[in-house]
Amino acid sequence: MARGAAAFWRSRELVDRLARQSPARLALGVFLGVIGLVTVLLEAPWATAHGGRAPFIDALFTATSATTVTGLVVVPTGSYWSTWGQVAILVAIKVGGLGVMTLASLLGMAVSRRIGLTQRLLVSSETKTTRLGEVGSLVRTVIITSTTLELAIALVLLPRFHMYEEDWGTAAWHAAFYGVSSFNNAGFVPTPEGLAPFVSDWWVLLPIIVGVFIGSLGFPVILNVARNLREPRRWNLHAKLTITTSVALVVAGSVIVAAFEWTNPATFRDLDPSATALASLFAGVMPRSGGFSTVDVGQMHESTWLLTDALMFVGGGSASTAGGIKVTTLAVMLLAIVAEARGDRDVEAYGRRISRDTLQVAIAVSLISATFVLIASLLLLAMTGLSLDVVLFEVISAFATCGLSTGITPDLPDAAKYVLTVLMFIGRTGTMTLAAALALRNRRRVIRLPEERPIIG
């Protein structure tokens, strides 16, 4: 008993010390710990359908993909993993969807029974909340809101799955799995055939589309809109930019995908108009970081792949379950281009001026993210000998934690799988941590150097 108490206090002191000295390191450490734990669980014999141990790389890759809510798989989720293995994956998705900083805050609450200032700062950086007094209630709100929405999606899907000659138990499990996987933008499917049998079924696909889209907006947007649902004019600038840019990307992506794939016999050509509209909308929403697919992505035209690359790289909203550089990053840079073209001194939107610091962070995140994609693409090209189009698609999907694939992931050599594993972790944690670090790094200088403008363009 005494040893247990001593171990508890040592753990508490260690967490408190890490939280004070390096909160980001604590958060990333917790995230790595979750991946490690899920890897161990997936390596157990009971986690596979055949009763044998999964190879370490397959367990690690799947654990990382689930915890980072990516959805890339090296083995079929529905047929390779047992029910217990799928439960471990689902729990990892749920935990990963809460976010790195929120997860670290929950650890702090469990150890110290309270939310201290450091933990509040951690959650503030994750959820973009500026009122530290609201963080305690915000963590509870995030958990309650996400669980409620996941349950709502599951309840809508449940009777439809039962109509497909599934017993109530199987239908409930599949509905719950898709509810959690869709809202968290994870892209995992519990059945071997995935969503392909439902390509024309609005009842099944529309709730998943709504879940992915809402999850990709981010909790700050969801809470701000919920509090001011009847007064859109009171939505803050972040909510307005996120929703406007997200809707524009979904509409543009859906229309362009339909135009590119309309005559493709392997995807859209044999679908009726209603099914084509649904498949196009589905394909336009999933690059937000959803990762689900109803048609064979590997059979799409290369032009569609390139468009999807761009949409995946942008991703969803900040502090959301989605990945990518985030839609607000794109919006800020586009607004800066418009301001420069007009000769305006300030970058403005919806009656507000966007600070120069925000623009600098947006540029830094975009360029560093592109650098990660470039390096990973070069490595995979050297390791696999595959063409650039499929490699680039896979790399961006991993970095943006999207999960769409042309089908090459299971056949990659182990070294390439390790590269994608690291990339998924960086994509989920790196850009967010980098953005927070850059935003907080504000040096004040007494002496400023003379200004001079180099020639651009």
Closest CA to 33 of 21, 18, 45: 18
Distances from the Cα of 320 to the Cα of 299, 334, 431, angstroms: 30, 21, 13
Each domain of the chain, given as residue ranges in start order, spans: 2-440
Report d(CA 120, CA 11) in Å as an integer. Answer: 20
Burial 375-396 (b: 16+ CB within 10 A, else e): ebbebbbebbebeeebbbbbbb
Q: How far is CA 293 from the centre of its chain?
A: 16
Instruction: Kindly write down the DSSP assignment for every residue of 98-130, as one continuous string.
Output: H-HHHHHHHHHHHHHSS--HHHHHHHHHHHT--
Question: Beta 347-349 vs 352-354: how paired, if at all?
Answer: antiparallel
pLDDT at 142: 78
Report d(CA 119, CA 142) in Å as an integer. Answer: 15
Report d(CA 236, CA 359) in Å as an integer. Answer: 18
Contacts of 341 (CB under 8 A, 6+ apart): none
Contacts of 28 (CB under 8 A, 6+ apart): 100, 429, 433
Report d(CA 24, CA 318) in Å as an integer. Answer: 17
Closest CA to 401 of 239, 109, 90, 186: 186
Contacts of 56 (CB under 8 A, 6+ apart): 39, 43
Count of residues in the chain: 457
pTM beyond 0.75: the answer is yes
Burial 278-303 (b: 16+ CB within 10 A, else e): bbbbbbbbbbbbbbbbbbebeebeee
| pLDDT tens digits for range 393-443 | 999 999 999 999 999 999 999 999 999 999 999 888 866 565 555 555 555
Report d(CA 105, CA 54) in Å as an integer. Answer: 32
Burial class of 6 by CB neighbour count within 10 A (0 to 12, 13 to 18, 19+)? exposed
Weakly modelled stretches of the chain, pLDDT under 50: 104, 107-115, 117, 130, 132-133
Which residue in this structure is represented by tokens 């059979």? 299
Closest CA to 153 of 120, 127, 122, 186: 186
368 close to 431: Cβ distance less than 8 angstroms: yes
216 close to 289: Cβ distance less than 8 angstroms: yes
Burial 204-235 (b: 16+ CB within 10 A, else e): bbebbbbbbbbbbbbbbbbbbbeeeeeeeeeb
- Report CA torsion sign: 69, 71, 73, 79: positive
